Chain A
Amino acid sequence: DAKTTQPPSMDCAEGRAANLPCNHSTISGNEYVYWYRQIHSQGPQYIIHGLKNNETNEMASLIITEDRKSSTLILPHATLRDTAVYYCIVRVATSSGSARQLTFGSGTQLTVLP
Protein backbone atom coordinates (compact mmCIF):
# COMPACT_ATOMS: atom_id res chain seq x y z
CA ASP A 1 0.00 0.00 0.00
CA ALA A 2 1.16 3.51 -0.77
CA LYS A 3 2.53 5.65 2.04
CA THR A 4 0.60 8.71 3.23
CA THR A 5 1.81 11.97 4.74
CA GLN A 6 -0.34 14.08 7.05
CA PRO A 7 0.39 17.10 9.23
CA PRO A 8 0.76 16.04 12.87
CA SER A 9 -1.74 18.54 14.20
CA MET A 10 -4.32 21.15 13.19
CA ASP A 11 -6.72 23.47 14.94
CA CYS A 12 -10.14 24.54 13.76
CA ALA A 13 -12.72 26.93 15.18
CA GLU A 14 -16.05 25.43 16.15
CA GLY A 15 -18.63 25.88 13.40
CA ARG A 16 -16.02 26.37 10.72
CA ALA A 17 -15.04 23.86 8.06
CA ALA A 18 -12.08 21.63 8.92
CA ASN A 19 -9.92 20.76 5.92
CA LEU A 20 -7.51 17.91 6.58
CA PRO A 21 -4.89 17.30 3.88
CA CYS A 22 -3.20 14.04 2.94
CA ASN A 23 -0.42 13.36 0.46
CA HIS A 24 -0.18 9.98 -1.24
CA SER A 25 2.09 10.66 -4.19
CA THR A 26 2.90 6.99 -4.87
CA ILE A 27 -0.72 5.85 -5.04
CA SER A 28 -1.49 3.37 -7.79
CA GLY A 29 -4.58 3.00 -9.90
CA ASN A 30 -6.25 0.30 -7.83
CA GLU A 31 -5.71 1.88 -4.44
CA TYR A 32 -8.51 3.53 -2.51
CA VAL A 33 -8.17 6.42 -0.06
CA TYR A 34 -9.83 5.76 3.29
CA TRP A 35 -10.33 8.13 6.20
CA TYR A 36 -10.86 7.01 9.78
CA ARG A 37 -10.83 8.97 13.00
CA GLN A 38 -10.13 7.95 16.56
CA ILE A 39 -11.51 9.81 19.50
CA HIS A 40 -9.43 9.39 22.63
CA SER A 41 -9.54 5.83 24.05
CA GLN A 42 -12.10 4.62 21.50
CA GLY A 43 -11.79 2.36 18.47
CA PRO A 44 -11.25 3.95 15.06
CA GLN A 45 -14.40 5.15 13.32
CA TYR A 46 -14.86 4.89 9.56
CA ILE A 47 -15.57 8.22 7.89
CA ILE A 48 -15.41 7.89 4.12
CA HIS A 49 -13.45 6.37 1.24
CA GLY A 50 -13.02 6.94 -2.48
CA LEU A 51 -11.07 5.95 -5.57
CA LYS A 52 -10.93 8.98 -7.85
CA ASN A 53 -14.22 10.79 -7.69
CA ASN A 54 -15.14 13.16 -4.91
CA GLU A 55 -17.35 11.56 -2.28
CA THR A 56 -19.77 12.95 0.27
CA ASN A 57 -21.71 11.35 3.09
CA GLU A 58 -23.45 12.53 6.23
CA MET A 59 -20.15 12.94 8.06
CA ALA A 60 -17.76 14.49 5.58
CA SER A 61 -16.64 15.14 2.02
CA LEU A 62 -13.58 13.67 0.37
CA ILE A 63 -11.88 15.63 -2.38
CA ILE A 64 -9.28 13.71 -4.42
CA THR A 65 -7.07 15.62 -6.85
CA GLU A 66 -7.20 14.68 -10.51
CA ASP A 67 -3.74 13.09 -10.39
CA ARG A 68 -4.80 11.27 -7.18
CA LYS A 69 -1.58 12.24 -5.44
CA SER A 70 -3.36 14.04 -2.64
CA SER A 71 -6.73 14.36 -1.00
CA THR A 72 -8.58 16.53 1.51
CA LEU A 73 -11.14 15.48 4.08
CA ILE A 74 -13.65 18.22 4.77
CA LEU A 75 -15.79 18.39 7.90
CA PRO A 76 -18.22 21.14 6.88
CA HIS A 77 -19.19 22.44 10.33
CA ALA A 78 -16.74 21.20 12.95
CA THR A 79 -17.99 20.66 16.49
CA LEU A 80 -16.09 20.00 19.70
CA ARG A 81 -16.98 16.32 19.31
CA ASP A 82 -14.93 16.19 16.11
CA THR A 83 -11.72 16.57 18.13
CA ALA A 84 -9.85 13.37 17.29
CA VAL A 85 -6.89 11.85 15.46
CA TYR A 86 -7.72 11.57 11.76
CA TYR A 87 -6.03 8.85 9.72
CA CYS A 88 -5.66 8.89 5.95
CA ILE A 89 -5.03 5.37 4.63
CA VAL A 90 -4.36 4.08 1.15
CA ARG A 91 -5.34 0.50 0.56
CA VAL A 92 -5.29 -1.70 -2.50
CA ALA A 93 -8.55 -3.29 -3.56
CA THR A 94 -7.86 -6.94 -4.24
CA SER A 95 -10.08 -9.90 -4.76
CA SER A 96 -7.53 -12.22 -3.17
CA GLY A 97 -7.78 -13.32 0.44
CA SER A 98 -4.68 -11.45 1.55
CA ALA A 99 -3.46 -7.88 1.93
CA ARG A 100 -6.75 -6.51 3.21
CA GLN A 101 -5.46 -4.90 6.36
CA LEU A 102 -5.41 -1.17 6.93
CA THR A 103 -1.98 0.38 7.46
CA PHE A 104 -2.32 3.31 9.83
CA GLY A 105 0.23 6.12 10.04
CA SER A 106 0.47 8.68 12.81
CA GLY A 107 -2.52 10.71 11.61
CA THR A 108 -3.46 14.32 12.26
CA GLN A 109 -4.61 15.44 15.69
CA LEU A 110 -7.50 17.81 14.98
CA THR A 111 -8.47 20.06 17.85
CA VAL A 112 -11.74 21.96 17.49
CA LEU A 113 -11.59 25.12 19.56
CA PRO A 114 -14.66 26.78 21.12
Chain B
Amino acid sequence: DTGVSQDPRHKITKRGQNVTFRCDPISEHNRLYWYRQTLGQGPEFLTYFQNEAQLEKSRLLSDRFSAERPKGSFSTLEIQHTEQGDSAMYLCASSYGTARQETQYFGPGTRLLVL
Protein backbone atom coordinates (compact mmCIF):
# COMPACT_ATOMS: atom_id res chain seq x y z
CA ASP B 1 0.00 0.00 0.00
CA THR B 2 1.52 3.34 -1.03
CA GLY B 3 -0.93 5.64 0.70
CA VAL B 4 -0.43 7.89 3.72
CA SER B 5 0.07 5.88 6.89
CA GLN B 6 -0.36 6.94 10.49
CA ASP B 7 0.70 5.30 13.71
CA PRO B 8 -0.79 4.48 16.10
CA ARG B 9 -4.36 4.20 14.88
CA HIS B 10 -5.73 4.52 18.40
CA LYS B 11 -4.28 5.97 21.58
CA ILE B 12 -5.76 6.13 25.07
CA THR B 13 -3.88 8.20 27.60
CA LYS B 14 -4.41 9.83 30.95
CA ARG B 15 -4.67 13.56 31.37
CA GLY B 16 -1.25 15.13 31.80
CA GLN B 17 0.65 12.51 29.81
CA ASN B 18 2.57 13.25 26.62
CA VAL B 19 1.71 11.53 23.35
CA THR B 20 3.43 11.40 19.97
CA PHE B 21 1.89 10.46 16.63
CA ARG B 22 3.71 9.59 13.43
CA CYS B 23 2.73 10.20 9.82
CA ASP B 24 4.42 8.67 6.80
CA PRO B 25 3.39 10.53 3.64
CA ILE B 26 3.16 9.17 0.14
CA SER B 27 6.67 8.75 -1.20
CA GLU B 28 8.07 11.91 -2.81
CA HIS B 29 5.22 14.11 -1.61
CA ASN B 30 6.91 17.30 -0.46
CA ARG B 31 3.97 18.80 1.41
CA LEU B 32 2.52 17.44 4.64
CA TYR B 33 -0.44 18.65 6.66
CA TRP B 34 -1.86 17.90 10.08
CA TYR B 35 -5.56 18.32 10.82
CA ARG B 36 -7.70 17.64 13.87
CA GLN B 37 -11.29 16.42 13.79
CA THR B 38 -13.68 16.33 16.72
CA LEU B 39 -16.90 14.35 16.76
CA GLY B 40 -19.50 15.64 14.33
CA GLN B 41 -17.24 18.32 12.85
CA GLY B 42 -15.15 18.54 9.70
CA PRO B 43 -11.36 18.40 9.96
CA GLU B 44 -9.59 21.58 11.08
CA PHE B 45 -6.14 22.60 9.90
CA LEU B 46 -3.31 22.53 12.43
CA THR B 47 -0.01 22.93 10.57
CA TYR B 48 1.72 22.53 7.21
CA PHE B 49 5.22 21.53 6.09
CA GLN B 50 6.89 21.98 2.75
CA ASN B 51 9.82 19.58 2.81
CA GLU B 52 11.28 20.03 6.31
CA ALA B 53 10.13 23.62 6.79
CA GLN B 54 7.04 24.29 8.90
CA LEU B 55 5.41 27.12 6.95
CA GLU B 56 2.07 27.61 8.62
CA LYS B 57 0.56 27.00 12.05
CA SER B 58 -3.06 27.42 13.04
CA ARG B 59 -4.04 29.28 16.18
CA LEU B 60 -5.46 25.90 17.25
CA LEU B 61 -1.88 24.69 17.70
CA SER B 62 -1.24 25.72 21.28
CA ASP B 63 2.18 25.72 22.95
CA ARG B 64 1.55 22.16 24.10
CA PHE B 65 1.58 20.97 20.49
CA SER B 66 4.72 20.58 18.45
CA ALA B 67 5.24 19.10 15.01
CA GLU B 68 8.41 18.15 13.20
CA ARG B 69 9.45 16.83 9.84
CA PRO B 70 13.21 16.51 10.30
CA LYS B 71 14.28 15.09 6.96
CA GLY B 72 11.36 16.12 4.86
CA SER B 73 9.88 12.64 4.92
CA PHE B 74 7.87 11.40 7.92
CA SER B 75 6.43 13.79 10.48
CA THR B 76 5.62 13.61 14.18
CA LEU B 77 3.01 15.49 16.17
CA GLU B 78 3.55 15.65 19.92
CA ILE B 79 1.06 16.81 22.50
CA GLN B 80 2.47 17.57 25.92
CA HIS B 81 0.43 17.54 29.13
CA THR B 82 -2.67 16.24 27.37
CA GLU B 83 -6.08 17.56 28.34
CA GLN B 84 -9.50 15.99 27.86
CA GLY B 85 -10.22 18.58 25.19
CA ASP B 86 -7.42 17.12 23.08
CA SER B 87 -9.53 14.02 22.46
CA ALA B 88 -10.04 13.93 18.72
CA MET B 89 -9.01 12.26 15.48
CA TYR B 90 -5.65 13.56 14.24
CA LEU B 91 -5.32 13.37 10.48
CA CYS B 92 -2.28 13.67 8.29
CA ALA B 93 -2.35 14.49 4.58
CA SER B 94 0.35 14.79 1.93
CA SER B 95 0.52 16.35 -1.50
CA TYR B 96 2.80 17.44 -4.31
CA GLY B 97 2.58 19.37 -7.55
CA THR B 98 1.77 22.92 -8.50
CA ALA B 99 -0.69 24.99 -6.55
CA ARG B 100 -3.24 24.56 -9.31
CA GLN B 101 -3.00 20.80 -9.39
CA GLU B 102 -2.35 20.05 -5.75
CA THR B 103 -4.45 17.28 -4.23
CA GLN B 104 -4.16 16.32 -0.60
CA TYR B 105 -4.34 12.63 0.24
CA PHE B 106 -5.30 11.74 3.77
CA GLY B 107 -4.20 8.96 6.04
CA PRO B 108 -6.56 6.89 8.21
CA GLY B 109 -6.01 9.08 11.25
CA THR B 110 -5.01 8.53 14.87
CA ARG B 111 -7.90 8.57 17.30
CA LEU B 112 -6.86 10.00 20.68
CA LEU B 113 -8.86 9.60 23.86
CA VAL B 114 -7.68 11.48 26.93
CA LEU B 115 -9.16 10.17 30.18
Contact = CB atoms under 8 A, between A and B. Distances in A.
Contacts of A36: 106
A97 B45 contact: no
Contacts of A46: 103-106
B42 A42 contact: no
Nearest to A104: B42
Interface in A28-81: 32, 36, 41-46, 49, 51
How extensive is the interface on chain A, given as a class? 20 to 34
A44 B103 contact: no
Contact of B99 (A41, A45, A100, A103): A100
Nearest to B42: A104
Given A43-B91, A43-B108, A100-B48, A107 B103 contact: no
Contact of A97 (B43, B50, B106): B50
Contact of B42 (A93, A97, A106): A106
Contacts of B45: 101-103
A105 interface: yes
Contact of B48 (A85, A101, A106): A101
B25 interface: no
B99 A94 contact: yes
A97 B33 contact: no
Given A44-B106, A97-B55, A101-B56, A87 B42 contact: yes
Interface of A: 32, 36, 41-46, 49, 51, 85, 87, 93-95, 97-107
Interface of B: 4, 31, 33, 35, 41-45, 48, 50, 53, 55-56, 58, 91, 93, 95, 98-100, 102-109, 111
List of 9 A-B pairs having minimum Cβ-Cβ separation, nearest first: A104-B42, A43-B106, A101-B45, A97-B55, A93-B99, A93-B100, A44-B106, A104-B43, A43-B108
